[in-house]
Each structure stands twice: as structure tokens, then as C-alpha cells.
Amino acid sequence: MDSMSESFRMPLIGDDAPVFTAKTTMGDINFPADYKGKWVIFFSHPADFTPVCTTEFMTFATMQEELKKLNTELIGLSIDSIYAHIAWLRTIKDKIEYKGMKNVEVLFPLIEDLKMDVAKKFGMVQPNASTTQAVRAVFIIDPNSKVRAILYYPLTTGRNMEEIKRMIIAMQKSDSDGVATPANWVPGDDVIIPPPGSCGSAKERMESQEEGKYCLDWFMCFRKEK
């Protein structure tokens, strides 16, 4: 079996994140051991010196501090060399101005993956899209090194970074408060209380007068957050 036809089972939501070591623009990393206790946005991009990828890296770089406040780290990957990565990131800092962003320094690690070893472990190389580039994949990994969310974008479509940040906040809210978040939820919106497990508890739930709670039906109760 040649290297292009070699296949791996892509990690799914709830799985342990694949283990790897890699050379990056910020030094060697040992994943996930180096990131225990933190949330991680691990994302791939097709190639250096491409316009969509440039807008994504600039946007993520300008969000890095606000993500750190959410206990979240960024790791990027493409099937390019460290030398190409460094040259590209220097070009971004020295030459590119986009939507008011300029002199942007990318301070999160960008993995060199010339042999596609890491990309294959995460299903980032999809032959029907390209056999030589990683697609735009995003894996959100929690502090216990579990895969919590997976997003895939085609090569031509840039990612919505604010949506990725919203997902982090929503999952952290669910973990801390034992709630779910409804469609289009943003911080401060009301949250969903998990449905009851029996008819008796459903009746009690509808009749309870818990402050801040309201029900649209027995299975659909919310808690006010404001």
C-alpha cells in the first residue's frame, strides 16, 4: 500500500484525540500531553501563501488573546515545511493588511507535516478534494483530550472564526452548568434545562416554580440567564 492510499480511522466526537509529536514554528510539541487541562482548536489549511488561508491565520492570530482567556490554545497544520511556514508568516507580518489587520504576528504553533503523518491521523487529507493538500478541518479538543466538535470546510471557503469561538463558550457553559444551548445561542441568552427522565419528574417539572425557569412544554424548559 503506497503512502497516498494509506488510510486511518478519523477520530469522532467523544474519541480521544490522536497522539503525535511534531515540529512547529514554535518548537517541538507533544500532543496532547503539552495541552493537558486546556481546550485546543486544532485546524488544518491547504497550503502556505494562499489567500484564504492568509485571511484565516490573520483572524485567528488577532483572536489569540481572547481565546487564551477561554483557556483555549490554537494549533495550525499544513503539508508544508517549516521554512515555507516561516517565510509565509513573515510575509503576513511585514506586507499584508486586511480588514484593518496589519503587522499581524502569528504566535501559535504551525505544524510541519511534509509526510502527512499528523494530517492522516485526523482525516485532514481527503483524496477526492486533493491528494496533496489538507482540507480545512477544525477539531475542538477539551481539557481531557477528548474530541468535542469537528468542522470541515471545502478548500474554497474560509472558516467563521467567531462561530468556532462561540462553540467553545457554549461547550464550556454546558460542562459547567449541566445545560444545553439552543439554536443561535450567544453568551447571555437563556439556556435549556435537560429534559426529565420519567413521567413523574416531567409533571413535577411543569408545576415547579423555580426562579428564572420557564417551560414551553414538559420536555422544553429554559433557564433565564439575564
The CATH number given to whatever domain includes residue 200 is 3.30.1020.10
Cα 57 to Cα 55: distance, rounded to the nearest angstrom: 6
- For residue 10, being part of any structural domain is answered with no
My answer on whether 59 and 124 are in the same domain is yes
Q: Find the domain containing 199 and state its range.
A: 178-223
The catalytic position among 53, 199, 215, 221 is: 53
Q: What is the pLDDT of residues 1-30, one digit of tens each?
A: 344 445 567 899 999 999 999 999 999 999
- 17, burial (CB in 10 Å: exposed 0-12, middle 13-18, buried 19+): buried
- For residue 3, being part of any structural domain is answered with no
Cα 191 to Cα 193: distance, rounded to the nearest angstrom: 7
How many C-beta neighbours within 10 Å does residue 80 have?
22
- For residue 196, being part of any structural domain is answered with yes
- For residue 93, being part of any structural domain is answered with yes
The CATH number given to whatever domain includes residue 77 is 3.40.30.10
- Does 199 participate in catalysis according to the annotation? no
Q: What is the pLDDT of residues 88-139, one digit of tens each?
A: 999 999 999 999 999 999 999 999 999 889 998 998 876 665 555 677 899 9
My answer on whether 120 and 82 are in the same domain is yes
Is 9 marked as binding a ligand?
A: no
Interval 171-194 mean pLDDT: 96
Q: What total number of domains does the chain contain?
A: 2
pLDDT given at position 5: 47
- For residue 188, being part of any structural domain is answered with yes
Q: What is the DSSP letter of 19?
A: P
My answer on whether 201 and 106 are in the same domain is no
My answer on whether 123 and 197 are in the same domain is no
My answer on whether 155 and 184 are in the same domain is no
